[in-house]
A = this chain, B = another copy of it.
């Protein structure tokens, strides 16, 4: 079955990683994996555009069915391979409610992370403002405080409760991305505990971004990011040029 699946992806991209984790959770390791380089702009190549007119990764095909949105891929795989691998949607209605809430809230978290981390990459130089950088940093701080709370008071050990679910598939890459960019584990102890507790889960370990393995150092963009009062050095962010996915 897995041979019918092609997924084109880029290393370090949270949406791509979500799709890969879902594939591994559903025991679909034999899929046709096409690793592409954002640096070489391979996400704009014809092989991607043939499947995804947006020229974005992931790009995913199963038989003649195309699903490119990472959440769509996760939901589709869970539905299409319901009885295979790990069940990713809990039966219990209460756990389901928590799962859906967290997985879709994670989109806001991802947006706020990228507003900070990708600011110079997305906003042309003459449109950048320290006020925007400061506002984005404050918004991310407030966001992370929410997630610290969820992880502190939530039922655990997983986001929806006792079982690993689509909430973890979609949230984990965001949290790993934060620590990759230097978020301080001591300042965010609940995020850090969750992050470390799942590092060795087979689906996550097997799909860990290869560029992160090659260069385990990471970046320190978020190292001064406080949990309460952002003392964030936004002038650095405003003027630094980088593609955070590299």
- Seen from chain A, the residues whose Cβ lies within 8 Å of a Cβ on chain B are 53-54, 62, 64-73, 75-76, 79-80, 89, 93-94, 96-98, 100-101, 103-105, 107-108, 124, 126-127, 129, 131-132, 146
Contact = CB atoms under 8 A, between A and B. Distances in A.
A53 B146 contact: yes
A80 B54 CA distance: 34
A70 B100 CA distance: 10
Contacts of A62: 97
Contact of A68 (B76, B89, B101, B129): B101
A104 B62 CA distance: 17
A94 B69 contact: no
Contacts of A69: 100-101, 104-105, 107
Contacts of A80: 93, 96
Chain B CB within 10 Å, residue with most, of A62, A66, A67: A67
A67 B101 contact: yes
Contacts of A96: 76, 79-80
Nearest to A130: B127
Given A69-B100, A72-B97, A72-B100, 12 more contacts: A54-B108, A54-B146, A66-B101, A67-B100, A69-B104, A69-B105, A70-B104, A72-B105, A75-B100, A76-B96, A76-B100, A126-B131
- Counting every copy of the chain, the complex holds 2
A229 to B, nearest CB: 19
A101 to B, nearest CB: 5
21 contacts: A53-B146, A62-B97, A65-B93, A65-B94, A66-B101, A67-B97, A67-B100, A67-B101, A68-B101, A68-B105, A69-B105, A69-B107, A71-B100, A72-B101, A75-B100, A76-B97, A79-B96, A80-B96, A107-B107, A126-B129, A127-B132
Contacts of A129: 126-127
Chain B CB within 10 Å, residue with most, of A68, A96, A97: A97
A105 B80 CA distance: 20
A171 B69 CA distance: 15
A49 B146 CA distance: 13
Nearest to A79: B96
B132 A66 contact: no
Nearest to A76: B100
A4 to B, nearest CB: 11
Nearest first, the 3 A-B pairs at minimum CB distance are: A69-B104, A72-B100, A65-B97
